[in-house]
Structure 1
Amino acid sequence: MPQWHLPEGEGLPGRQLVEGTLAAIVVLDAQLRHLYVNPAWAEISGLPASAFLGRTLGEVLPDLQRPDDVLAEVLADGRPRETTISGTTGVSSPLGQRLWRAVYHRVELPGQDAGLCGIGVEISSLRSYLDDLETAHLRLALLDAVATRVGTTLDIETTCQELSDFLAPSLADMAAVGIVEEEFTGAPPPRPGFVRLRKVRGSAPAGMEWLLHQMGGPGPYIDIPRGVATRHCMDVGRPWLGNLASDDLFQKVTVDPERTRIFRAAGIHSLLIVPLITAGRPVGVVLMGRTGTSQPFSDDDVTTIQAVAARAALSVDSARRYSHEHTMALELQRALLAEPRAPHPGVEVTARYIPSGRSVLVGGDWYDSIPLPDAQTLLVMGDVMGHGFQAAVTMSQYRSLLRTIATDVMGVEEILEEFDRQVAQLGLDRLATCLLAVMDPQDGTCTAASAGHPPPAVLRPDGSIDILWLPAGPPIGTGLGGYEPLTATMAPGTTLMLYTDGLVERRGTDIDDSVQEFQGLSLSADTPLDDLLDTVLARLANGAYEDDVAILAARQHHHAR
């Protein structure tokens, strides 16, 4: 077949331009066979020019994506067009897939049909740069997203569920989170040299939830020895990757051969384990898997997931510490609060303390029941202002002081007067509100007085609810005194409810209006007191308490009189 040649001769500017340029230049005939290849394209392809002559691009370099349809259009209408050529040649490149941008013109060839002249420039580095830039933007977007979607609460279970839901399915098909367990209350400690992981939360595709339940065994804990991939991952602080893992590789993760069979049954072919590290120590670990037709984890995937894990580890650690401190604080509160004294047989008493959902701090709420002479029972509800351990310690002092004062036979207003006087003399810097009520089953009465405390609610035998609006005296600790009692009748079966302001106080709502919500509750007078308190707590606050809540219910038995 005829071949096209550049004009011979020294000093020809056209020849120097074509053969000296770094751009690839080719001339094709009407059948897209090469008539000419310049040195730049020969160097790029790794083949001599003679390898191209008389052959199409697909015949010479089959791994390149060919723009034959675009070239046909240029031949047909003579309008130049740009196109891209991508793929690999015989010359290796650190960029992997290579990319050229080329423009083709129709040219008249001497003695034959019109052909094409193509001029191309490699843009692989630019494409790689743009890809890297896009990857970086996606990674930053993920990190921004994890900051808003993981750690929305201080509940450890919720935080770990948010993390696993974030990772699967966006970055893996399944994800499970385990937390390093340092307290072994209620369970024997792990053997020496083992680390205990508490299985917290996980995410898996629909129909594969069974996988999460069976991973790591049936119990809530996994004790991990040295030499296992999960343990090594936490010890060195680096991820462990098992792409297209063999059974032997799975064994390094699971130890138990049964777990390997579970992974295989779920179709998992690749695993990635990433430690959750804060302040240089592991607080947990995330295990991710890809299944079925999903691609193995790439280096970019690993880098991105590491960044997500580092950001999420802060939230997980905060939630874990909150959970631990909150439990300790609650135990301290209960220890300081202790149990109220047993009332007289004619009165049944039940009480609850619910810590605020927004703070790990204990508070100053307290309650008590104190048996008095003549079958009377003194009921106490108090609230030291402020939060924290100091408020709880002050509460314990107030509670003990009030118990001492109440041993003398006095009316509720006199007890409050003496209580206020002694607290003021002690110089304690925290005021307290307090409500006292004496139930007298023999007389069928209840006498109450308030030191700035919310009024009690009375559940009558017919199910109606009254609010005892008491004269409001000053808080305890002011030294002002001036408390007035109020006496109400209490038929057998009547229930008196005392509470702190955390039960009814709402942001933006007058507390008197919130108190009156009690009267709108539908309650049964025959409901057991424990169930009654559950109902009141659920209906008035829906479990979302902005402050600590203490509530006490006292019921006069039908046979009391």
Structure 2
Amino acid sequence: MDLSRTESAPHGTPAAPDLAQAGLLVSLRRRVRAACGEAGIPVEDRARLVLAVTLLADPVLGAGGTVDLDTAVTAGVLTIGVRLPEPWPPPRLDDLPQPAALTDGGRVVWRLVAGDRPVPAPADDELATRQELLALTARADALVREGRALRHELAETNSGVLAMYVELEQRDEQLRHAHARIFRGLEDALRPLPPAVPGLELGVCYSPTEADSPTGGDLYDWFVLPDGRLHVTLVDAVGHGVTSTRDALTVTHAIRTLALDGHPFRDLIAHASRTLTTIAPALMATVLLARIDPGTGATQLANGGHPEPVLVGASGDTRFLRPPVVGRGVGFPDPGSPCLVELDLGPGATLLLYTDGLVESRKDVDEGQARLLEVARRHAGRPVPDLPREVVARMHDVVVYADDTVLLAIRRPAADARR
């Protein structure tokens, strides 16, 4: 069987280079996943290969170049080749998460042993990326368990193996850094770009606990429903590290599925919790949902144990949006949002949705909330794409307690701005 084919990514459009570049990268990833699926490549190996091709192609496409991709399956081996434009400097293959070889013709080649049966990937790029992250996090968890078991065995041996133990610790550190790089690359793919919503301006800032830490449990999702309304999900999963990331992904995916299936907005948190109880009984997460009509500004908020959003009026006045009865998140007793917050997001008004790391940096939540109202008021006039980063920087000027932080800003432009 010979499934060879050659693909070439076209130039990006000058009018929107970032969006065109992102579309080209999604197209390349889709081709690699299709080849891996036909060849039966395991999800974990596919994830490293997809990330390697993305890292190789991203700077070329960003500079307006083209990337030629060819795939073939012969004698039970999947071969994927990438040819970069000339004169392009040779890539540093040691930095790629999947080992590759550089041919004399300047072509980067990966070769993987094909499986016994196809392993298809989801057609949606985001869902496929989530699947790959889950596979890598599962592998990372297994490596951590294996490392712990090995250290325990070494601790019971005599002092003559101390040098070997030190060397293994160094390798373990290198492994953690290598996985952190992979996680950061996949984390970027998991932070969805603001969707295009006529009548609304969107901005986001994600601030991890540490610059070199892997993904955390603070994730968000936003998409446009078939009726044109914007749906936003903000999740803060209990715990830290890759386990909390997996839990947060599970929650956001469950709520997206239920929302697109047409389940009532009021019941989404409770329904998601009931659905996930049998799948992940230990999962716990606070959840905040928002649904906004960009034409009228009609807004609904469902809060499952999450920090209250902030409304910044067109004149700069700020206030918290607290429901009469506070709900509980996924995995908690009696989950759900018994009372919705309903409001009209007027022209020029801004809605701020955030996780608790924004207001707990000084360990005093009340003081943090008071500062948030003042910071939001003072910087209300900033453009929405810049507003979240500016607010996070001001709130984290002093950090006593570090935690992952997500801040989303949604503004309905003033009438003159829309004209």
Structural mapping, 1:114-153, within 5 Å: none
Instruction: Measure the CA separation in 1 of the matches of 2:313 and 2:265.
Output: 23
* Cα distance change of structure 1 residues 369 and 343 upon mapping to structure 2, 3 Å threshold: farther
- Please name the residue that 2:356 is paired with: 501
- Please name the residue that 1:349 is paired with: 202
Is 1:552 matched up with 2:403? no
Instruction: Measure the CA separation in 2 of the matches of 1:387 and 1:523.
Output: 33
Secondary structure in structure 1 of the residue aligned to 2:334: coil
Kindly indicate whether the alpha-carbon contact (under 8 Å) linking 2:202 and 2:385 is maintained by their aligned counterparts in 1. no
Is 1:491 matched up with 2:359? no
* Cα distance change of structure 1 residues 478 and 468 upon mapping to structure 2, 3 Å threshold: same
The answer to which structure has the higher helix fraction is: 2
Q: Kindly provide the amino acid, as one letter, of the partner of residue 312 in structure 2.
A: L
Is 1:394 matched up with 2:247? yes
Instruction: Measure the CA separation in 1 of the matches of 2:196 and 2:265.
Output: 17
Secondary structure in structure 1 of the residue aligned to 2:295: coil
Instruction: Measure the CA separation in 2 of the matches of 1:326 and 1:555.
Output: 34
- Please name the residue that 2:331 is paired with: 477
* Cα distance change of structure 1 residues 431 and 502 upon mapping to structure 2, 3 Å threshold: same
Secondary structure in structure 1 of the residue aligned to 2:394: helix
- Please name the residue that 1:380 is paired with: 233
- Please name the residue that 1:302 is paired with: none
* Cα distance change of structure 1 residues 506 and 527 upon mapping to structure 2, 3 Å threshold: closer
* Cα distance change of structure 1 residues 396 and 482 upon mapping to structure 2, 3 Å threshold: closer
Kindly indicate whether the alpha-carbon contact (under 8 Å) linking 2:361 and 2:398 is maintained by their aligned counterparts in 1. no
How big is the alpha-carbon RMSD for the aligned residues of Structure 1 and Structure 2?
Answer: 3.7
Secondary structure in structure 1 of the residue aligned to 2:306: coil
Kindly indicate whether the alpha-carbon contact (under 8 Å) linking 1:367 and 1:381 is maintained by their aligned counterparts in 2. yes
Identify unmatched segments of 5+ residues in structure 2.
1-91, 103-161
Is 1:327 matched up with 2:181? yes
Instruction: Measure the CA separation in 2 of the matches of 1:182 and 1:344.
Output: 40
Shift of 1:330: 2.1
1:298-332: CA deviation from partner (whole Å, max 9, x where unpaired): xxxxxxxxxxxxxxxx99x9997776554333223
Shift of 1:444: 2.4
* Seq. identity, %: 28
1:535 pairs with one of 390, 402, 407: 390
Q: Kindly provide the amino acid, as one letter, of the partner of residue 498 in structure 1.
A: L
Q: Kindly provide the amino acid, as one letter, of the partner of residue 391 in structure 2.
A: V
1:60-104: CA deviation from partner (whole Å, max 9, x where unpaired): xxxxxxxxxxxxxxxxxxxxxxxxxxxxxxxxxxxxxxxxxxxxx
Higher relative contact order (CA 8 A, sep 6+): 2
Kindly indicate whether the alpha-carbon contact (under 8 Å) linking 1:474 and 1:481 is maintained by their aligned counterparts in 2. yes
Kindly indicate whether the alpha-carbon contact (under 8 Å) linking 1:340 and 1:370 is maintained by their aligned counterparts in 2. no
Kindly indicate whether the alpha-carbon contact (under 8 Å) linking 2:362 and 2:398 is maintained by their aligned counterparts in 1. no
Kindly indicate whether the alpha-carbon contact (under 8 Å) linking 2:200 and 2:413 is maintained by their aligned counterparts in 1. yes
Kindly indicate whether the alpha-carbon contact (under 8 Å) linking 1:385 and 1:431 is maintained by their aligned counterparts in 2. yes
Identify unmatched segments of 5+ residues in structure 1.
1-180, 192-277, 284-313
Is 1:465 matched up with 2:318? yes
* Cα distance change of structure 1 residues 528 and 440 upon mapping to structure 2, 3 Å threshold: same
Is 1:448 matched up with 2:312? no
Structural mapping, 1:403-414, within 5 Å: 403-414=256-267
* Cα distance change of structure 1 residues 441 and 338 upon mapping to structure 2, 3 Å threshold: closer
- TM-score, length basis structure 1: 0.41
Instruction: Measure the CA separation in 1 of the matches of 2:308 and 2:390.
Output: 19
* Cα distance change of structure 1 residues 543 and 440 upon mapping to structure 2, 3 Å threshold: farther
* Stretches of 4+ aligned residues off by more than 6 angstroms: 317-322
Q: How many residues align?
A: 260
Instruction: Measure the CA separation in 1 of the matches of 2:389 and 2:172.
Output: 30
Structural mapping, 1:26-425, within 5 Å: 183-184=94-95, 324-335=178-189, 337-339=190-192, 342-357=195-210, 360-425=213-278
Shift of 1:348: 2.1
Instruction: Measure the CA separation in 1 of the matches of 2:358 and 2:208.
Output: 11
- Please name the residue that 1:252 is paired with: none
Instruction: Measure the CA separation in 2 of the matches of 1:279 and 1:464.
Output: 63
Q: Kindly provide the amino acid, as one letter, of the partner of residue 210 in structure 2.
A: G
